[in-house]
Amino acid sequence: MLSIKRQRNSNIEILRILAMVLIVFGHQIDQFHYSGAQGVIDFMGVAPYTNPQFILLSFVGPLGLMGDVIFIACSAFFLMESDRISIKKIFYLIATDTIVMCTALAIKGILQDPISTRQILEAVFPTVLQVNWFVGYYIVFYLLHPLFNYVIRKLDRKGLAIVTGILVVQCNVLAFGMGTAPGQLGLKLLCFISIYFAVAFYKLYGGKLWESKKFNVILLVSTILLYIGFRIAINYIGLKSEYVGWRQYGYAHISNPIVILMSMAMLNLGNRNPRHNKVVNYFAGLSLVLYLIHKNLQFVTHVDYLTIFVDKFGTQS
């Protein structure tokens, strides 16, 4: 049975804040590309690198995708505890998204920066047009969570294992193995759902593994090391194989099973010795709003961090 609604564990809320910090930090890389005498360099890892500094920096962009997974997993942990849907919360997110986008557009106008018709439409309908895709998918995910909880309650351990297994195979084995970003396959929402059911199964039936601090510390450390090794290996293979080389971004996306295991280890460790801090919980509740503000600041500013990096560390050769 799912537990009744209770005061949120601030340790998990801190993880949500950490997730948003990773997303914001990652956006400083994936929104800007070096384009100059050395050609075009994309630090999201779209192509493999031979320059060690570039390989290191290519780890930074996907931190945002890692933050997405952590945020979804933390949200799933809390949403399992209640079937309640707050229309006020949904309206608040959509309204905030639109207001922030329109404000950013107004600032562009004041700065006499060119504004296209597309940008106007994106500012007025940011959620529908998926300008801020994560918020749009999160709203749909939030609306559907009572249905997920109903299915979870109706299934026994074996049934939930089968459903979770099907989702994991679809999103975190097949789609991940193809190296294609989930959005290109129309699987982003399914990846959200896969994470939800994986967290639910681990939380409800993890037993001694869920309760073991030692196991989850080992799981966290090993997945961090495995992720680093995986990214280095994929970069190396990508230098030899064009197919793998141009799918670096897809292998680092929210379908990456290593990151999901890492997130569940974080959840378990955060759930030990629960603490309740109103200030932490308040700021965690604003995390999506802070994401929107940050995302749209990039709409009106452009600090070319990557050109600075390339000028400092040189080219790939």
* Per-residue pLDDT, 303: 47
* Per-residue pLDDT, 282: 76
Residue 1 pLDDT class (50, 70, 90 cuts): very low
Q: What is the DSSP letter of 233?
A: H
Looking at the predicted structure, is the pLDDT value of residue 130 above 60?
A: yes
Percent of the chain residues past pLDDT 90, beyond the cut: 23
188: phi then psi, degrees, rounded to nearest 5: -60, -50
Looking at the predicted structure, is the pLDDT value of residue 3 above 50?
A: no
Looking at the predicted structure, is the pLDDT value of residue 22 above 80?
A: yes
Greatest mean pLDDT among 9-23, 115-129, 137-151, 185-199: 137-151
Looking at the predicted structure, is the pLDDT value of residue 4 above 80?
A: no
Summary mean pLDDT of the chain:
79
pTM score of the predicted model: 0.79
Residue 123 pLDDT class (50, 70, 90 cuts): confident
pLDDT digits (tens, 9 = 90+) for 221-264: 999 999 999 988 888 888 888 777 777 778 888 888 999 999 99
Looking at the predicted structure, is the pLDDT value of residue 265 above 80?
A: yes
- Identify the H or E element spanning 225: helix 213-240
Q: Please give the full DSSP string across 250-310, using - where no structure is assigned.
A: HHTSTT-HHHHHHHHHHHHHHHSS----HHHHHHHHTHHHHHHHHHHHTTT----HHHHHH
Amino acid, res. 163:
V
pLDDT digits (tens, 9 = 90+) for 131-147: 677 888 888 899 999 99
pLDDT digits (tens, 9 = 90+) for 197-215: 999 998 899 888 777 889 9
pLDDT digits (tens, 9 = 90+) for 50-84: 777 667 777 776 788 888 899 999 999 989 988 98
